Amino acid sequence: MRSFAEHAPAAPRNDWQTLRSLIPYLWEHKPRVMLALVCLMLAKVATVTMPWFLKHIVDHLSAEDVALTLPLTLLLGYGAMRLATSGFGELRDAIFARVTQSSIRRVALQVFRHLHRLSLRFHLERQTGGVSRDIERGSRGISFLLNFMVFNILPTLFEIGLVTLILLINYDVWFALITLASVSVYIAFSLLVTEWRMRFRRTMNELDSKANTRAIDSLLNYETVKYFGNEAYEARRYDQNMEHWQEAAIKNQTSLSLLNFGQGFIVAGGMTALLILAADGVVKGEMTIGDLVLINAYLLQLFMPLNFLGFVYREIKHSLADMEKMFNLLRNNPDVQDKADARPLQISRGEVRFEHVDFGYNPNRQILHDVSFDIPPGKKVAVVGHSGAGKSTLSRILFRFYEIDAGRILIDGQDIRDVTQQSLRAAIGIVPQDTVLFNDSIKYNIQYGRPDAGDAEIIQAAKTAHIHEFIESLPEGYDTTVGERGLKLSGGEKQRIAIARTVLKDPHILVFDEATSALDSKSEQAILKELKAVAQDHTTLVIAHRLSTVIDADQILVMEQGRIVERGSHRQLLDRDEIYAHMWALQQQEQQQTQSEFSPPE
């Protein structure tokens, strides 16, 4: 029984799990991280030292002999500390830049590779626009998280502790108590309100991904939208999502205003209480003007990053929410995985054998029933039948996009479940019915069959597919861009590029899944002639609807409702006068009617 892990809903990801998952990427640059932390601590020590210099400057200038001396050393010290704060901060950012960007790159690459490892089942059900937006937001979230978590949250807490300790040692205990109380209330309020606000952010993310998915899906199907004149309908569908997003965004912003006001109220209350206490100490002669300036400087120095701490915490929570979906992609497990002891496929003759194969895309809908056949080395076997008979499914399970439910598929006696997927797919080339091209040049799309192929080999493959002359007639030749999914080319042109790509790959086993379905009769016959020559030294599986394209096959299999109901050569099946013979007669009749309809009148 196949695993359906890819369809299981992902449990909410714990924030600490997300943070821990980033540690390995940071630790790859351990020396840089440690050096950046040293710079961070030196910058904070310099920051905390500045008010001390300021206090002594004020006290010195308040003395009676102010006109006789200038506190040059103290002024230079203050300037040096301010310069050190800025210098160490910038040095820290410069050192840590490579760590941040490398981590983003590594995580994005890991997600990209993982998406390619996931099974076809996942990709048939995915929403491309939503997935791309999740990755984009997640990458931005990593950048923010690494910079602000390491360089704002931790140093701000360090600075709060250092300032509180200085106040406790040098002044009345109430200064430290009021400071700690203000900080504690501020942090508690920020945590509670931010947690409450996160539901609005998650709703915004969901609706944003959904709107982006609909927009991309609509643009990819541009021609269909135009065919049916449904531009206004598509706009309404898109706007409905954006309307819900707007409501969530408004709630998000109003709740942010509430949070900011509450934080400002706490900060103002704490600063006012401390200044009243300090001013009272000056009036009583227990403190100097310099002490008042020092406490005021510490308060500003403390509450400015504390205010920023609230912003950073909010943004970190937002970043974690943004990263949540991206990391959930990594939690999807592929249906099809290599065994621990899987070995590369060894091709000697290229024989393919299906033995009593059962398969269904889900447990309630079985597609193939006890399918058995052989494709001898160098021979061509064709599979024909009506739509929905299970023909194309054979190619998908041969490529091992899905695991079969029962039976075996062997290549040169090796069960394809015992070999690596990479080596299996390297040995098979396919020309699918629905050809999709990359939005790049014609040369790139042909060369994709074998990226290290030279220009001469690419041109020869194009000639084999009877498309070289067409390409040469284009203004930009092989550098012509084919457009999104190849929309700038006709169906026949795309099909011939797909054939050239497979010819260039030169695999041991060839699969043609309705490979000439988009071609006109003249081009079809020309390509069939070339494909026949190409297939002479290859084991070939041809999946076809038009019987005229497979009459030269060594064996023809007729499928109905997932079962092989007839098998034999073209002549043998005609002589049997059953299902195949009926299909042949019907197609010949349709062809004659088509020719008579388009023949000029006598």
Residue 590, in any domain of the structure: no
DSSP state, 129?
A: H
Q: Which residue has the tokens 């002594």?
A: 56
Note the pLDDT tens digit of each residue in 400-449: 988 899 999 999 999 999 999 889 988 998 888 777 788 889 999 999 88
pLDDT at residue 500 tops 80: yes
Query: Predicted confidence band at 3 (pLDDT cuts at 50, 70, 90)?
Result: very low
Note the pLDDT tens digit of each residue in 565-589: 999 999 999 999 899 999 899 888 8
Say how far apart CA 42 and CA 87 lie, in whole Å.
10
pLDDT at residue 168 tops 70: yes
pLDDT on residue 483: 80
pLDDT on residue 420: 92
Say how far apart CA 375 and CA 141 lie, in whole Å.
52
pLDDT on residue 8: 38
Higher confidence at residue 153 or residue 422? Answer: 422
Query: Predicted confidence band at 5 (pLDDT cuts at 50, 70, 90)?
Result: very low
pLDDT at residue 304 tops 80: no
Residue 162, in any domain of the structure: yes
Phi, psi of 365 (to 5 degrees): -140, 95
- Please return the burial class of 549, using the count of CB atoms within 10 Å of its CB with bins 0-12, 13-18 and 19+: buried
Token reading at 575: 């002589």
Residue 432, in any domain of the structure: no
What b/e string do you get for 166-185 counting C-beta neighbours within 10 Å, with b at 16 or more?
bbeeebbeebbebbbebbeb
Dihedral, 15, 20, 21, 23 alpha carbons, nearest 10: 140
- Please return the burial class of 454, using the count of CB atoms within 10 Å of its CB with bins 0-12, 13-18 and 19+: exposed
Query: What are the residues facing 353 on neighbouring strands?
Result: 374, 410
Whole-number Cα distances in Å, 578 to 215, 358, 572, 574, 591: 50, 25, 11, 8, 20
Pick the closest to residue 129 from 224, 57, 256, 221 (CA basis): 221
Residue 199, in any domain of the structure: yes
Q: Is 420 left (phi over 0), alpha (psi -120 to 50) or beta?
A: beta
pLDDT at residue 153 tops 80: no
pLDDT on residue 598: 47
Among the ranges given (31-40, 62-71, 127-136, 160-169), the one the predictor scored with the smallest mean pLDDT: 62-71
Whole-number Cα distances in Å, 189 to 174, 260, 262: 22, 10, 8
How many other C-beta atoms are found inside a 10 Å radius of the C-beta of residue 190? 22
Among the ranges given (42-51, 189-198, 237-246), the one the predictor scored with the smallest mean pLDDT: 189-198
Note the pLDDT tens digit of each residue in 344-371: 999 888 899 999 999 988 878 889 999 9
Pick the closest to residue 527 from 510, 515, 541, 537 (CA basis): 515
DSSP 47-78: HHHHHHHHHHHHHHHHSTTTTT---HHHHHHH
What percentage of residues in the chain have a pLDDT greater than 70?
A: 86
Query: What are the residues facing 441 on neighbouring strands?
Result: 481
Say how far apart CA 62 and CA 184 lie, in whole Å.
36
pLDDT at residue 534 tops 50: yes
Token reading at 268: 């103002």
Q: What angle do CA 182, 184, 190 make, to 5 degrees?
A: 100
How many other C-beta atoms are found inside a 10 Å radius of the C-beta of residue 133? 22
Contact status, residue 540 vs residue 512, Cβ threshold 8 Å = yes
Query: Predicted confidence band at 343 (pLDDT cuts at 50, 70, 90)?
Result: very high
Say how far apart CA 395 and CA 381 lie, in whole Å.
13
Q: How many domains does the chain have?
A: 1
Domain span holding position 240: 11-330
Residue 163, in any domain of the structure: yes
Token reading at 343: 């070995």
- CATH code at 221? 1.20.1560.10
Say how far apart CA 105 and CA 124 lie, in whole Å.
27
Mean pLDDT, rounded, for 117-125: 67
pLDDT at residue 64 tops 70: no
Residue 539, in any domain of the structure: no
- Please return the burial class of 433, using the count of CB atoms within 10 Å of its CB with bins 0-12, 13-18 and 19+: buried
Token reading at 203: 């709703």
Residue 246, in any domain of the structure: yes
Question: Whole-prediction pTM value?
Answer: 0.63
Q: Which residue has the tokens 């015992």?
A: 418
Token reading at 439: 């939005």
Residue 144, in any domain of the structure: yes
H helices of 118-172, in order, are: 120-125, 128-148, 154-170
pLDDT on residue 595: 58
